[in-house]
Structure 1
Amino acid sequence: MTPLSATQNARSTGAEVPTHDDAPTEPLGADFKPLGKKRLILKRFFRNKLAVVGLVMLGLIGAFALFGHLLTPWHYTQQDFLSLGSPPSDEHWLGTNSAGVDMVALLAQGARTSLMIGLVVGLLTPLMSLVIGSAMAYFGGWVDRGWMWVIESLIMFPQIILIGIIMTGRGGGPVLLAFIMVMFGWMSSARLIRGMALSFVDREFVKAARFMGVPSLRIVWRHLAPNLASLAIINATTSIWGAILAEISLSFLGIGVTVPETSLGLMIAQARNYLFSQPWMFWTPVLAFMLIVGALALINDGLRDALDPESKASGRAKA
């Protein structure tokens, strides 16, 4: 007997015929758990293999900068007078410079200093740009005009001359150099963020917060700034390598980090006259700088794709 005839027979006898509505059903998507924004960004980032490679590279460089001095018994200020400008050997893996300082110890300290400057500038500069740019767009009026005057004045001023004046006679400390670079590095990004924040000022959530009596500074920090945070995050990676490049340039000119401190820029500046006679002195810090910049470039591409909802470069993140 076919299922159709069985159903007709049951109806003719008055028996209850089970229907699809009586069958137990489970709600669709019972096991579905929506991803939060942070988890979605992380999943998209880690699906980008090149970005993960860059993150691993930067982690290894950071580990070497912190613990590289443990690989050699020599201190970066200690001289080996029996090995002045010696090539790589069993005692000095990367050789020594013209003063007999071990290049492994010197490179670890130089990378630590350059990364410290890059991180300080790379974190503080986007934060200042985000807060000041959002405040300019929200308050407008004399606040906007006053900050715009400050930005235009600082951009037009020859910064390298002012940095040289401030650094002269102050020991060339890396901390001072980092904060000077922050002082002169936030203007362009703040002007860009101000232009983008103007499109959020008249949105409903800002008007609702203002109507409810939320303080203005809280609106800027909790409502405007988070909507522009993706731009600040991307600016952070570019600011890090920009700061390291600026430190190398300033140290090369003699107005950056100075002895007894050291950095990648100072190492390159000290080795410029030994490029052909002692090439390991020059190429060791140059290769370290190239690895840092390459790692940050890969991370920056991964962050850009992860933060862009329309980008398909990282694939689709699955729960």
Structure 2
Amino acid sequence: MTAAGLPMTVREPGLPDRVRIHEVGPRDGLQNEKTVVPLEVKAEFVHRLAAAGLGTIEATSFVHPRWVPQLADAEQLMPLLADVDARLPVLVPNERGLERALALGVREIAVFGSATESFAKANLNRTVEESLEMFAPVVARAKDAGLRVRGYLSMCFGDPWEGPVPVPQVVGVSRRLLELGCDELSLGDTIGVATPGHVGALLGALRAAGVPAAALAVHFHDTYGQALANTLAALRHGVTTVDASAGGLGGCPYAKSATGNLATEDLVWMLDGLGIATGVDLGLLTATSVWMADRLGRPSPSRTVRALSRQET
């Protein structure tokens, strides 16, 4: 990458010195792609992401293959990642998924809940309360085994059936997940309708309810081009963990105009410009996303990937 491909660094007072990027491309990204990526490509993708400096890479999901055929090879993938120098959390939906993960020596898991009844019914075939009851033994068993547990909470800002989600409703479910024993809670803007003010209102309400920013992560979709602005709002409220997907992999099945997850490259570009350390080499990361886009047969939606790729040609 040339000097022209690096942003000018200008610090903003009050922002964190470092942000941990929770890379979700291999799991959340690939599970939403129509193309089923071969096992060897998935393994190389994770290795390349780690080589680019990403220290947390969500590797796969232990959901039943019938529901997520794109990740049906989880048992075959994890042994191929034994030499990866990074944290490799996996998603588990229930106790059976946890058993499969434990059998492979996984050290970090995530469970996936909903802030709204409509999405809980559509995605989990349960009410919010029933889903929490399902997660309770999963989290307890994982903690007993010494695992780190992350809780995903979807539909924190808007729901395709229910519309805007009341902040107190999100706070209530957030507290329940943390009380179950989750070490970290990722707040998901599943359909990408959040705006910075809404983000600030939710984070402020969580703080008032006794939830520290250190226990939170944010997970934005860029449906309306708000993901980076929302991320900056979260940083200003003390959040230091941000979910992102290399090359912007993935999408949202509930919003036809969705462009998917916040692209890791776009996030790193902004953080580099703010002088916030991530440990990520933007050039290596961009090359990885170009490599994966070639295997998917389409260009990356990441604006940073496209801009830096043009500079290299």
The answer to whether the superposition gives a TM-score over 0.5 is no
Q: Which has the higher helix share?
A: 1
Shorter chain as denominator, the TM-score bin is under 0.3
Higher relative contact order (CA 8 A, sep 6+): 1
Query: What TM-score, normalized to structure 2?
Result: 0.24
Please tell me whether Structure 1 or Structure 2 has the larger radius of gyration of its CA atoms: 1
More strand by share: 2
